[in-house]
A and B are shown apart, each in its own frame.
Chain A
Amino acid sequence: MAKEIHANIPEGDLKDKWSNYKAHAKLVSPNNRKKLNIIVVGTGLAGASTAASLAEMGYKIKSFCFQDSPRRAHSVAAQGGVNAMKNYQNDGDSVYRMFYDTLKGGDFRSREANTYRLAECSASLIDQAVAQGVPFGREYSGYLRNRSFGGVQVSRTFYSRGQTGQQLLLGSYQALMRQKEQGNVQLFTRHEMLDLVLIDGKAKGIIARNLDTGEIERHGAHAVILATGGFGKIYYLSTLAMGCNASAIWRAHKKGALMANPSWTQVHPTSLPQSGPYQSKLTLMSESLRNDGRIWVPQSNNEQRSAVEIPEEERDYYLERKYPSFGNLAPRDIASRAAKEQIDAGKGVGALKNAVYLDFSHAIKEYGQELIAERYGNLFNMYQKITGIDAYKEPMKISPSAHFSMGGLWVDYDLMTTIPGLFAIGEANFSDHGANRLGANSLLQACVDGYYITPYTIQNYLADHIQVEKTDTNHPAFAEAEKQVQEQLNRFINQKGTKTAEEFHRELGEILYDKCGLSRSEEGLKSAISQIQNLREEYKKNLLVPGDAEDINSELEKAGRVNDYMELSELMCIDALNRNESCGAHFREEYQTEDGEAKRNDKEFAYSAAWEWNGEASSPVLNKEPLEFEYVQPTQRSYK
């Protein structure tokens, strides 16, 4: 039966909501904080920033990550930049404009109050990062520099060369290590959360596996924060790291947390194409390249000539043709879909015919190679390392790749899930990006959630738990959860089938790309669902995991992650099938305008779909959180 879900949005005018909240939220006094334990799973920007901030306040933190150091969380890979409303360029930026851009970019499928708060808190992040020593790009005068980023008309993006995520992450990682040194944080690297433990309906701890020793451990706390990142790796080929996973949020989902809009995945238009069947991941090339690069395909199918041999008049600059006012800078969902259209029509280039050209020859002619090298030198080098090709001499080949999960655990205004005491922050929640995320907004969201929001909202929750004793990990709920985890690991090991988890994962990824990727249809989704069900059945019988569970075993780690993907993927298809409209990254072929653009249906689908686990992957229950637009009027996006 559907649940009543409440977003708990504070009273007051849009611009006063967060101040009102802070003014009235409950607090925990400093001498009580040290008695309260908080588990933070994840050390990316969201996890590290919140763990450090809460430890500074005096709470006792246990911080977990699966990598061998917190500094390796995948936030490290973000290149382009982070948005913030400083209006340093005096170009008309404001909190309201940033809020509106984000809401519009998300195709009016996010909550007004949360999106506004993101814009409102953005400026403080830049102050904090600078104070930590993050070396953002500067003018010669010493002032901070900005660049502009996809789909907006102001320059509000701050950056550290092509390594913004790395530099921001190092800032919060260092803050975390400082708290570790002071004894406020216990660090558990190479630990994977395998279950959430509930006592009397509240989140009270986790079961984690020490990946180096195989030991299963119980950890108790007064509250649990999941900051476990995105699950785009479900598509197998993606811009995510090899270990990125949905397991923490999926297992919390199976314990009662709702999962919102799981099918909304951003496919990035400029990644490097797959070069062969052995390929393990796709590398992103920053979106900033589209500022000077022109995208095209040959006009004729099955073109055999090399790019430089094809004369101008036989090239189709399809983005410039279709979207004259935004051209090569059309938003990500639109640029990706247009590329797929060309590739599907047989215009793809490269050995596997799976790419389009991104051409700098015009820009080099106009500005000279030196200037282009100054702007993009590191990206051209990276391109050469990976492909062996010199992009100053011939166009890059690029293609769309699964990139960012707009969907995730459903959270209220406090970023608390439907399980009391369980919070979800960063890419792991569904929050602020609606159906399409704007470039450079997600580093921001991860940081704002971690530095500025949970430190208030978790206190509001913990204030009622000051008298609660330390969680007893001998409680039967821990024993039961541990037993389940152990049994599952043994099951994987003992199956002794013939196919590795990786092989299953590749197959699953192909189904998702094909039928629940850039373009979806009722027919395709239905057939994907039955394919996934079959694959899941096979996974139960034919999985091959060498080695044992009492030791380090990366095949066993993968087995657990793929197991969860086998269930989540079906929910993604069910979610996509339920939404009989197109919006942002979710493009249903049945719902398009005459010229092939996404057609929203606000009357029936202005809601977030929050799915509830019902004991079995094929029969989730739909809960709806209506999206009410009090302050903006949703319009049809147009980038023509």
Chain B
Amino acid sequence: MKIDLKVWRQKNQNTKGHLESYILDEVDAEMSFLEMLDMLNLKLAKRGERPVEFDHDCREGICGQCGVMINGIAHGPLKNTTTCQLHMRSFKDGDTIYVEPFKAKAFPVIRDLKVDRSAFDDIIAAGGYISVNTGQAPEANSILISHDEAESAFDSAACIGCGACVATCKNASAALFTSSKISQLAKLPQGKKESSKRTVNMVNRMEDLGFGHCTNTEACQVECPQDISVLNIAQMNYEYNKAKLKK
């Protein structure tokens, strides 16, 4: 296949970026999207040019490190699929593909397609845990959790922290990310105790970090590789209001 790539190139946070055109004419339909970028990078390296920097590690859809805007869509055309799991069979010979970084105020560009998502770690640090030290835990089966509760907590916990929800949202809100952790822990008996404090701290931190407000467009779930439900956001709002009422 022949692919006409328009790739975002940007030296660093302080310089302006631009789209650069590259033609690849030996793309195989079985290649993954990232292998196609590898192919481009090999070509650039051989010509003595700087390869395109992009984020990736596991290449199997679970580490959450990859993620770019492909033709304006976070992680590209397939629903609930990470960039690394997208394959070139989703494109046609002769296609033009625009590749740009996730863009959000809280995710500054580091170089080319790489962005800084450490704000997500900061949100977790604000309270995304159960405060238990190593050694304090009671016997595991002394905390009974019904099958459905556990499965539902898992559905929330499955988030891979890639940031597609933020990149997709017109407000660059981190509501889906933050709420998935809040509601996972709120659904479990061992996480309920700290729920109010956790929710308030995480929501405040999210706002301090420059993420926008959620206006319920629900675009985030569509692009989420794990199909995390927007109902988590409803639960977060419920936990937040409950905490505020208590005060």
Contact = CB atoms under 8 A, between A and B. Distances in A.
A405 interface: no
A278 B191 contact: no
A555 B46 CA distance: 12
A59 interface: no
B28 A144 contact: no
A138 B129 contact: no
Interface stretch (A29-37, A106-114, A175-183, A261-269): A175-183
Given A128-B137, A278-B28, A547-B50, 7 more contacts: A49-B134, A69-B64, A86-B140, A135-B157, A280-B32, A280-B34, A386-B32
A435 to B, nearest CB: 27
B244 interface: no
B131 A546 contact: no
Contact of B62 (A70, A126, A166, A281): A166
Contact of A144 (B55, B140, B158): B140
7 contacts: A67-B57, A76-B62, A127-B139, A141-B146, A177-B121, A544-B45, A555-B45
B36 to A, nearest CB: 8
B7 to A, nearest CB: 15
Nearest to B185: A133
Interface stretch (B147-155, B166-174, B211-219): B147-155
A498 B42 CA distance: 11
A138 B191 contact: no
Interface in B214-247: none
A74 B89 CA distance: 27
A131 to B, nearest CB: 4
Interface of A: 49, 52-53, 56, 67-72, 74, 76-77, 86, 88, 124, 126-133, 135-144, 160-161, 163, 166-167, 170, 173-175, 177-178, 180-181, 187, 189, 212, 241-243, 275-276, 278-281, 283-284, 382, 385-386, 388, 451-452, 455, 498, 500, 502-503, 544, 546-547, 551-552, 554-555
B163 to A, nearest CB: 10
B134 A53 contact: yes
Interface string B102-146: 000000001100101110110011101111111111111101111
A554 B39 contact: no
Closest 5 CB pairs of A and B: A142-B144, A174-B129, A131-B137, A127-B137, A53-B134
B30 interface: yes
B31 interface: yes
B134 A143 contact: no
Given A131-B138, A279-B35, A554-B53, A69 B188 contact: no
A189 B28 CA distance: 35
A241 B58 contact: yes
B59 A67 contact: no
B77 interface: no
What range describes how many residues of B lie at the interface?
35 or more
A156 to B, nearest CB: 13
Contact of A189 (B12, B51, B63, B118): B118
Given A67-B63, A386-B85, A131 B35 contact: no
A140 B129 contact: no
Contact of A136 (B53, B120, B150): B150
A71 B128 contact: no
A177 B125 contact: yes
B56 interface: yes
A127 B85 contact: no
A68 B58 CA distance: 13
B63 A175 contact: no
A551 B138 CA distance: 48
B140 A126 contact: yes
Contacts of B78: 385
A33 to B, nearest CB: 14
Interface of B: 12, 28, 30-32, 34-35, 38-39, 42, 44-46, 48-51, 53, 55-65, 78, 81, 85, 87, 89, 110-111, 114, 116-118, 120-121, 124-126, 128-141, 143-147, 149-151, 153-154, 157-158, 160-161, 184-185, 188, 190-191
A124 B62 contact: no
Contacts of B57: 67, 72, 74, 241-243
B134 A52 contact: yes
B63 A275 contact: no
A177 B205 CA distance: 14
Contacts of B133: 53, 56
A175 B132 CA distance: 8
Given A135-B154, A143-B144, A243-B57, A276 B85 contact: no
A142 B147 contact: yes
Contacts of A175: 129, 132, 134
A139 B44 CA distance: 54
Nearest to A173: B124
Nearest to B187: A135
Nearest to B188: A133
Given A70-B121, A189-B118, A546 B64 contact: no
A135 B62 contact: no
- Report which residue of B31, B129, B133 has the largest number of chain A beta carbons within 10 angstroms of its beta carbon: B129
B120 to A, nearest CB: 7
Nearest to A500: B45
Contacts of B55: 68
A130 B150 CA distance: 11
B161 A212 contact: no
Nearest to A174: B129
Given A142-B144, A546-B49, A69 B120 contact: yes
Contacts of B120: 69
A178 B45 contact: no
B38 A280 contact: yes
B128 A77 contact: no
Contacts of A181: 125-126
Nearest to A545: B45
Contacts of B50: 546-547
B153 A135 contact: yes
Contacts of B124: 173-174, 177
A544 B46 contact: yes
Nearest to A86: B140
A49 to B, nearest CB: 8
B118 A177 contact: no
A212 B11 CA distance: 12
A76 B130 CA distance: 20
B129 A178 contact: yes
A546 B146 contact: no
Contacts of B126: 181
Given A174-B129, A546-B45, A69 B118 contact: yes
